[in-house]
Amino acid sequence: MKLTILGCYAATPRTITNPTAQVLEIKNQMFLIDCGEGTQVQLRKHKIKFSRINHIFISHLHGDHFYGLVGLISTFMLLNRENDLHVYGPKGIKELILMQLRASGSYTGYQLFFHELEGTESETVFEDEKVVVKTIPLKHRIYTNGYLFQEKNQQRKLNIEAVEKHKIDTCYYQKIKFGGDIILEDGTIILNKELTFDPEPEKSYAFCSDTVYNENILPIISEVDALYHETTFLESEAHLAEKTMHTTAKQAATIALKARVKTLIMGHYSTRYGNIELFKEEAQTIFNNVILGDDGKEIEL
């Protein structure tokens, strides 16, 4: 699992910072999370192939999280995209995008599917044989969801010594990796647990932006490998965090601690602060394993 942060600053795009967008690569699939203005330029800068993005998850309809979407959809069209594109986001997103495409006399040559969300409980929005994606209902000024990405169906690890000892043909290796037992020619059954080791633990990533401090998310994000949690303000501006329904660095660190996550990645910094190191310092008074998210940062999970 690899995360590329394309933008992680609040409010307006600037020459030096970008609004929210991230690309998460899981087992060769690319997922785009949020699509602030300028996302397609950031994708080009980081040499991420547009054709590899088939699923876009939008947290909420504030401009700094989705004003880049219609532009990206339009560019896909100009590039003669053929793959289907799936967009997941709050109810209303379909009308907003289609209205703009209609007004500009545009149409997509590819199939564009919208998966509109209005639930207030966590739900599965995408699942295939390798990945499952669930919503994380957040509390913000408008309807907002974070997203939880979990790897699944990790194959078991082959115990080479054991399969060779039983002279098992290599054509059965795939079956064994998927948990199958083996019957030898003399009828002896070799149980899978004798032929394999437990797989590497499956990786998980939770994306939470934007939200006020909200302990209701703890059971959903419990023990994830990495939690991206917005940290718009420092504790000195806690009154602004409350008023605008955002989180401080200290509050995000408290969520990370209580959810027993492995790593906290911070972002969505208010541009009022000149030095984002202050966010790390404040968070680490509560939770040590902190990564300071920044535009262009690549993180292997």
CB of 10 to Zn ion, least distance (A): 5
Beta carbon nearer to Zn ion, 64 or 151: 64
Q: Does 34 bind Zn ion (CB under 5 A)?
A: no
CB of 273 to Zn ion, least distance (A): 15
267 CB-contact burial (10 Å; exposed 0-12 / middle 13-18 / buried 19+): buried
CB of 189 to Zn ion, least distance (A): 57
Encoded one letter per residue, x for contact with Zn ion by CB under 5 A and - for no contact, window 103-132 reads ------------------------------
Q: CA-CA distance, 161 to 212, in Å (whole number)?
A: 53
Q: Which stretch binds Zn ion (CB under 5 A): 45-53, 151-159, 204-212, 255-263?
A: 204-212
Beta carbon nearer to Zn ion, 146 or 259: 146
Among 13, 37, 56, 62, binds Zn ion (CB under 5 A): 62
CA atoms within 13 A on the CB side of 204: 20
User: Which residues are tagged catalytic?
Assistant: 64
Tokens for 249, please give them: 């660095």
Beta carbon nearer to Zn ion, 204 or 209: 209
Beta carbon nearer to Zn ion, 64 or 282: 64
Tokens for 108, please give them: 């997509």
Q: Does 250 bind Zn ion (CB under 5 A)?
A: no
Q: Does 210 bind Zn ion (CB under 5 A)?
A: yes
Beta carbon nearer to Zn ion, 142 or 160: 142
Q: What angle do CA 158, 161, 166 make, to 5 degrees?
A: 95
Q: Does 64 bind Zn ion (CB under 5 A)?
A: yes
CB of 240 to Zn ion, least distance (A): 14
Q: Which stretch binds Zn ion (CB under 5 A): 22-30, 178-186, 209-217, 287-295?
A: 209-217
CB of 60 to Zn ion, least distance (A): 6
Q: CA-CA distance, 98 to 61, in Å (whole number)?
A: 15
Residues 211-240 that bind Zn ion (CB under 5 A): none
Q: Which stretch binds Zn ion (CB under 5 A): 47-55, 58-66, 281-289, 292-300?
A: 58-66
Nearest to 195 by CA among 169, 231, 233: 169
Contacts with Zn ion, residue ranges (CB under 5 A): 62, 64, 210
